[in-house]
Amino acid sequence: MTIIFERKAASFLVKAAKLERRELLIATLGGFGGFYGGSKMSQATGDLGEPAAAYAAETSSDNKVVELTQFPITLDSVISVVVPRPKKSRTKKEKEEEEEVLAIQGIEFLADEAVKFDVHVNDDEDSLSRPDASEFAGSFVYLPHKRKMVTTSLRLGITDLLDDVGADGDDSIKVTLVPKYVKRPVTIRHIKIEFLK
């Protein structure tokens, strides 16, 4: 399982190297507002403020199921979306050659507040798994910087995750986004599956 992330700001693009999902604690892109992510950060509070300041996503009854045609969406509650998979039941060789990646694109927000949301795959939105469970794909975390709009994306390798949850042969997956610390509107333009060599 790998995590691949990138950040766009002004006219440049920064990409981080592939990192093993279960091993990642913090990956930083210095000088760009402290963008970092990882599955081990789900209980972090430190610079992100107290958890009570976030939407009470875990206990909220405002869970939404949206269609891909309804994008862009605003992440203000737990949101689930069914994402079609272009290829299913891939062979071991195909999996070794190409990583199946969940791409969350066009994440837009005002960068003067911290932002954190978790990503789950094929999980029950009424009883979400903890970060050590297979259904937990990873987290998006952004530390505050200057007051400007930021547009970025998050890519999470899900090849091993799909094997772990028994979804390798499925035509689609259910992706659940859980806001953990979101004080201002966060817009998400699109979610899709990609394959990286």
| Structural domain boundaries in the chain | 2-196
Q: What is the pTM of this model?
A: 0.68
Which pLDDT belongs to residue 127? 81
Which pLDDT belongs to residue 70? 83
Among 16, 4, 35, which residue's Cα sits nearest to residue 100? 4
β-strand pairing of 79-84 with 64-66: parallel
Model pLDDT for residues 64-86, shown as the tens digit of each residue: 777 777 889 999 899 999 999 99
C-alpha span between 17 and 3 (Å, rounded): 8
Which pLDDT belongs to residue 66? 78
Which pLDDT belongs to residue 61? 52
C-alpha span between 119 and 81 (Å, rounded): 11
Residues of the chain falling short of pLDDT 70: 1-62
C-alpha span between 27 and 37 (Å, rounded): 6
